[in-house]
Chains A and B, each alone.
Chain A
Amino acid sequence: MRKGVMRPGHIQIRVLDVEEALKHYRDLMGLIEVERDSQGRAYLKGWTEVDKFSVVLRQADEPGMDFVGYKVLDNQTLEKLHGELVEYGCNVEEIPAGELNGCGRRIRFDSPTGHMFELFAEKEQTGKWGLSKVNPEAWPRGLTGMKATRFDHCLLYGPNIAGTLDLFQKVLGFELAEQVLDPEGTRIAGFLTASMKAHDVAFIECPEPGKLHHASFFLDTWEDVLRAADLISMEDVSLDIGPTRHGLTHGKTIYFFDPSGNRSEVFCGGDYHYPDHEPVTWKAEDLGKAIFYHDRVLNERFLTVLT
């Protein structure tokens, strides 16, 4: 049952060098640089996003992910979910409005997989970048690189995904859209949605807590994915794999690394989900095809390289 969580709102990514990271997220991926805050964090967004920012880069000694935030319908929903998170047993912390520039009060909570998440109801709405609110044109001039349209989802690795999936489904009202089951019926991957998308967040079982596999950004077409691949070669960027298609979600994709080793994805297409849909199941025995639909063979690096 949906509980008023609308969409992924932001991800704070740790990088070894903010200036180098901006070359990746702004110049290569085409995110819009919004501003820098007093802590030196850089704020960015995809051009189609109406809220002020969706990506925050923080310079740190260890790459990875600090937290992912989800936007909820309103403050009443935020209050209700705050109470339910406490009741469920999460460690919950309230982050005051303005700690992230332009973002309202955030409710931060931990999870069995070791990741930190947040909910928030309010963020300054600056509108789609470069477009008028009335009679908007198809796209704005002046976009760079891959022209990534929005922060779409992230894939997170950690222990006890059963626990985090339970938290997201029971408390936050996400639905299980896709899954990977092993022969004993254990779920080793779960793709959750709060919308019609095949995933708003995904989890894969792994002994090490709190790991980021990738942060993903949406492109409109397969041609755009191929163009992204061209740019990766032109700029001599560290490629992971692709362009290819996934079996899971059927998205068309390419993976590459930012200058601190955090994995990025740009993708297009993919399945849709309605609340009456049964989860789509892939068998762990066919994991090669589930992940890389064309090669049908697993790639060790894709499975084990995490930040």
Chain B
Amino acid sequence: MPDQNTHLIRVVNRDQSFKCASDQVLLIAMERMCANVINVGCRGGGCGVCKIRILQGEYECKRMSKAHISDAEQQQGFVLACRVFPRTDLEIEADHYQPRESYYTNRDARKAAC
């Protein structure tokens, strides 16, 4: 029998999916499944790194920084995955955060990572 409280989250642009309980936020559920389909930042609705767009399905959302999700964007389904509780199965699109490249990251982090 399917579990009414667990929902399938399909990440369409990554061609992957993970399960999320209705009392969990998407980002934490994803991390607990050891999946790597949404980028992880502060996990508190502040930094914008986990910005996604929900294409289909119902959800509830805690407060998010308006610096990253304006009212208009929220109307269009943009959310921060660390603040979203699924109410049905969801289809989402990851990778909507536009990182502002820091000098530091560009020139040195990438070099150091090689």
Contact = CB atoms under 8 A, between A and B. Distances in A.
A303 B43 CA distance: 16
Given A16-B63, A207-B100, A285 B111 contact: yes
Interface stretch (A32-40, A116-124, A226-234, A258-266): A258-266
Q: Which of B41, B100, B104, B112 has the most CB of A within 10 A?
A: B104
Given A284-B107, A285-B108, A287-B104, A307 B46 contact: yes
A206 B103 CA distance: 6
Size bin of chain A's contact surface: 35 or more
B101 interface: yes
B105 A303 contact: yes
Interface residues of B, number: 27
Interface residues of A: mostly helix, strand, loop or mixed? loop
A257 interface: yes
Interface in B33-63: 40-47, 49, 63
B72 interface: no
B109 A305 contact: no
A263 B44 CA distance: 10
B102 interface: yes
A260 to B, nearest CB: 5
B103 A303 contact: no
Contacts of B113: 297-298
Contact of A307 (B42, B100, B102, B108): B42
Interface of B: 40-47, 49, 63-67, 99-105, 107-109, 111-113
Given A189-B104, A207-B101, A287-B108, 16 more contacts: A16-B44, A61-B66, A204-B104, A206-B104, A207-B102, A238-B44, A257-B43, A260-B45, A260-B46, A262-B42, A284-B104, A298-B113, A303-B105, A304-B105, A305-B41, A305-B42
